[in-house]
Amino acid sequence: MMLRLRVPLAKQFLTKGGPSLSPSLFKAVSRSVTTNVHTHTVKTPVGLDAAIQTLKPKTTRLSTEGPTECPLDGFALLNSPFFNKGSAFTDEEREAFKLVGLLPTQVNTLEEQVDRAYAQFKIRVDDLAKNSFMDSMRLQNKVLYFALVKKHIKEMLPIIYTPTIGDAIEDYSHRFRKPEGCFLDITSPETIEERLASFGTEKDIDVAVITDGSAILGIGEWSIAGILITIGKGSIITVAGGIDPTRVLCIGIDAGTNNKAQLNDELYMGNKFPRVEGKQYYDFLDKVVKAFKKRFPSSVLHFEDFETTAARKLLESYRDKLPCFNDDIQGTGCVVVAALKAALKATNRKMDDSKILVYGAGSAGMGIATQIASNLRTDGFTDEEIHSKLYLMDRYGLITESTEATPSQKVYAKQDKDWQGIDKTNLVEVVEKIKPTVLIGCSTRPKAFTEQVVKTMYKYNPDPIIFPLSNPTRLHEAVPEDLMKWTNNKALIATGSPFAPVNGIAISENNNCFAFPGIVLGSVLSRSLKISDEMISAAVEQLSILSPKIRDPKGGLLPDITEINEVSAKVATAVVLESLNSGLARVESEHRPNGQYVNVPRDYEACLAWVKSQMWQPIYRPYVKVEHIPHIHTHQY
């Protein structure tokens, strides 16, 4: 960098009150001076490990190996969650980065820090307090945060994500401490590119999670407070999918709010006007997506918790233009189909003989139905065959041609003539008529799967597949204990919330975390042009064959959440290979850091090893001190 200054020195002496000068001295200092300020960068490895690792050639595109370059020191370093190691800074690092006297004497290991943090976590009085503690840790030390979550994943997941994050979102404006993420304001569309530019260039971001807060979990519209759902999702993408947290961008769109509690809250931090809809809203979203693609052309855009109509429109409009994904539409359905396929494999059945009744045709139910249909289509079933297998039922009953329904629901509407004399609102009669092999609940109607409904299904199917998925637990259509009792322990069950084993048989939670981290990782690593149906189907198939139920009758239909890293790596491998085989991958046309090209193994096991080598791990890496040293040169004339 160079800064040039031209200053008549005499001006410094001729100001009022300045010193008097002799004529000869005045003549000398009145000459002009040109000052050139150059800076050059010095990088110094701190410690032996950093020196050794600096000499090794970098082989991965992601920042998963080698020392970390650190341009900060002193309090600025301690206040950076991306660089701060807290009490784990070594003596050499403390001296090099001006931390002497700023930390207690003892140098801790990361493991010791995790144990201390976990003890602090455990004494919090309730889940929201634990969520607040974890937020605070994430804002102080990213490595420690993710190391703690990873070690206690089963306990931590409900705290940092659903269901506790819903309570945190409702209280966002009152709990606000420090901003995280990128905020886009619908009243300032001209600033979209500028706001995104604050987070770097195409080389800096791998995935962005974006929401407008219009349909958060089961709590409705919370507008800008929805930024927390993107932060929760981003955290899972890191801890499960191995994406470096510095390369995950969380984006919140503020389009106003229809939430009266927020409009009447003087502390609410978003726009206090009714939510913008229609053309202005969609024009703004279009500008956002186009600006994102322009700024981060190879990055994955993950749509999260948009209202159903907007969610579908976004996915349909942009899925062929950039790698994008909607977890509510694709992720939930992906895990459901994987659990369904696992159940069929475990009982030696095929999809050809299946009849599937989705009870609840809202956003979740339609997402599941759409993903089932997409997977069947990929497996070679015709649209006519798919239509004959899928049945939808909403609060007004089975969807038929005369039902007032959305276009996406109408696709699965049955002929009215086939349902004459049958009460389409009565689940028992509908089950008696269809004789489904699979019953999926997304209705939020508690206890809708009654003993009579289940026994009617069981009468025709000795191994009924039943998924009561509504959340929270109090809204489940049935509980596993009853389902097992009514089917003589023959039901194959996946639920929307965690449940204890029943009669020694594991009950799997239909958790989206088994799908989206691996799909995102596979898309990022392959640098795929888009996320195709075939890539998602590859993820479904891979997840289904990991089912413990296939090998153990008492196992669950899905893996245990403690295996989430291994599951994500294997799902990502399947996605990478499909992207390569279909010609969508760009990874092999990109340069490595050493100037060569990447060659991704086509063998599954070799590709899996390559994927794992790219995954970020929460460990402290040695630092290289980066200094920008100025040099000043002056010339008089």
Task: Give the per-residue SS3 of 470-489.
Answer: CCCHHHCCCCHHHHHHHCCC
Q: Is 447 a catalytic residue?
A: no
- Reported as type and span, the H/E element at residue 494 is strand 492-495
Quick check: 160 pLDDT over 50? yes
Residues 6+ apart with CB under 8 A from 262: 173, 222, 223, 225, 268, 270, 272
| Residue 501 burial (10 A CB sphere; 0-12, 13-18, 19+) | exposed
* CA–CA gap between residue 253 and residue 222 (Å, rounded): 11
* CA–CA gap between residue 62 and residue 347 (Å, rounded): 42
Q: Are residues 348 and 284 in the same domain?
A: no
Q: How many helices (H) and strands (E) does the chain have?
A: 26, 16
Q: Distance from CA of residue 10 to its chain's centroid? A: 62
Is 79 one of the annotated binding-site residues? no
In a domain, 117, yes or no: no
> Over the stretch 241-262, which tens digit does the pLDDT of each residue have?
999 999 999 999 999 999 999 9
pLDDT of amino acid 632? 72
> Over the stretch 374-385, which tens digit does the pLDDT of each residue have?
999 988 999 999
Q: DSSP for 121-160?
A: HHT-SSHHHHHHHHHHHHTT-HHHHHHHHHHTHHHHHHHH
Q: Are residues 339 and 473 in the same domain?
A: yes
* CA–CA gap between residue 423 and residue 303 (Å, rounded): 38
pLDDT bin (cut points 50, 70, 90) of residue 45 is: confident
In a domain, 637, yes or no: no
In a domain, 141, yes or no: no
* CA–CA gap between residue 338 and residue 543 (Å, rounded): 6
* CA–CA gap between residue 297 and residue 399 (Å, rounded): 41
Quick check: 312 pLDDT over 80? yes
Pairing type for strands 248-254 and 2-8 reads unpaired
> Over the stretch 338-365, which tens digit does the pLDDT of each residue have?
999 999 999 999 999 899 999 999 878 9
| Residue 415 burial (10 A CB sphere; 0-12, 13-18, 19+) | exposed
What CA–CA distances, in Å, run from 123 to 129, 141, 159, 503?
10, 20, 14, 33
Choose among 292, 301, 297: nearest CA to 319. 301
pLDDT of amino acid 59? 47
Q: Are residues 498 and 551 in the same domain?
A: no
Q: Are residues 320 and 344 in the same domain?
A: no
Which domain covers residue 203, as residue numbers?
Answer: 161-326
Identity of the residue numbered 479: V
Q: Are residues 287 and 238 in the same domain?
A: yes
Q: Distance from CA of residue 416 to its chain's centroid? A: 42
Q: At 269, list the tokens.
A: 């931090």
> Over the stretch 168-221, which tens digit does the pLDDT of each residue have?
999 999 999 999 999 999 999 999 999 999 999 888 999 999 999 999 977 899
Q: At 343, list the tokens.
A: 């159940």
Q: Are residues 376 and 483 in the same domain?
A: yes
pLDDT of amino acid 116? 99
In a domain, 22, yes or no: no
Q: At 21, list the tokens.
A: 């000068």
In a domain, 390, yes or no: yes
Exposed e or buried b per residue across 70-91, where buried means at least 16 C-beta atoms within 10 angstroms of its C-beta: bebbeeebbeebebbbbbbbbe
pLDDT of amino acid 87? 98
Choose among 407, 395, 332, 391: nearest CA to 364. 332
Quick check: 30 pLDDT over 60? no
pLDDT bin (cut points 50, 70, 90) of residue 56 is: low
pLDDT of amino acid 10? 42
pLDDT bin (cut points 50, 70, 90) of residue 54 is: low
Q: At 556, list the tokens.
A: 């669950």
Exposed e or buried b per residue across 222-243, where buried means at least 16 C-beta atoms within 10 angstroms of its C-beta: bbbbbbbbbbbbbbbbbbbbbb
Q: At 626, list the tokens.
A: 């980066």
The mean pLDDT value of the chain amounts to: 91
Quick check: 626 pLDDT over 80? yes
In a domain, 24, yes or no: no
pLDDT bin (cut points 50, 70, 90) of residue 407 is: confident
Q: Are residues 55 and 104 in the same domain?
A: yes
Domain end among 467, 488, 510: 510
**Mean pLDDT in residue range 494-511:** 94
Q: Are residues 600 and 522 in the same domain?
A: yes
Q: How crowded is residue 117: how many other Cβ atoms within 10 Å of its Cβ?
A: 21
Choose among 141, 158, 265, 162: nearest CA to 219. 162
Q: Are residues 318 and 397 in the same domain?
A: no
Total structural domains within the chain: 4
| Residue 546 burial (10 A CB sphere; 0-12, 13-18, 19+) | middle
> Over the stretch 62-80, which tens digit does the pLDDT of each residue have?
555 678 889 999 999 999 9
Catalytic residue, from 233, 293, 389, 424: name it: 233
* CA–CA gap between residue 435 and residue 496 (Å, rounded): 23
In a domain, 191, yes or no: yes
* CA–CA gap between residue 391 and residue 118 (Å, rounded): 47
Place of tokens 């993950």: 302
The answer to whether residues 415 and 422 touch, using CB atoms and an 8 Å cutoff, is: no
pLDDT of amino acid 636? 63
Quick check: 318 pLDDT over 70? yes
Q: Are residues 505 and 521 in the same domain?
A: no
Quick check: 22 pLDDT over 70? no
CATH number at residue 193: 3.40.50.10380
Identity of the residue numbered 523: S
Q: Is 391 a catalytic residue?
A: no
pLDDT of amino acid 362? 84
Choose among 147, 168, 148, 149: nearest CA to 157. 149
In a domain, 173, yes or no: yes
- Show the beta-strand stretches assigned E in 297-359: 300-303, 324-326, 356-359
Residue with the larger pLDDT of the pair 43 and 285:
285
| Residue 410 burial (10 A CB sphere; 0-12, 13-18, 19+) | middle
Is 348 one of the annotated binding-site residues? no
Q: Are residues 221 and 350 in the same domain?
A: no
* CA–CA gap between residue 80 and residue 72 (Å, rounded): 9
**Mean pLDDT in residue range 148-168:** 95
Catalytic residue, from 130, 145, 161, 268: name it: 161
What CA–CA distances, in Å, run from 431 to 118, 309, 333, 423, 467?
48, 29, 22, 11, 15
* CA–CA gap between residue 81 and residue 139 (Å, rounded): 6
Q: Look at residue 257 and give its three-state secondary structure.
A: coil
Domain end among 486, 510, 534: 510
Q: Are residues 357 and 446 in the same domain?
A: yes
Is 471 one of the annotated binding-site residues? yes
The arrangement of strands across the sheet holding 300-303 comes to 182-185, 248-254, 207-211, 300-303, 324-326
Place of tokens 């024009």: 283
The answer to whether residues 45 and 69 touch, using CB atoms and an 8 Å cutoff, is: no
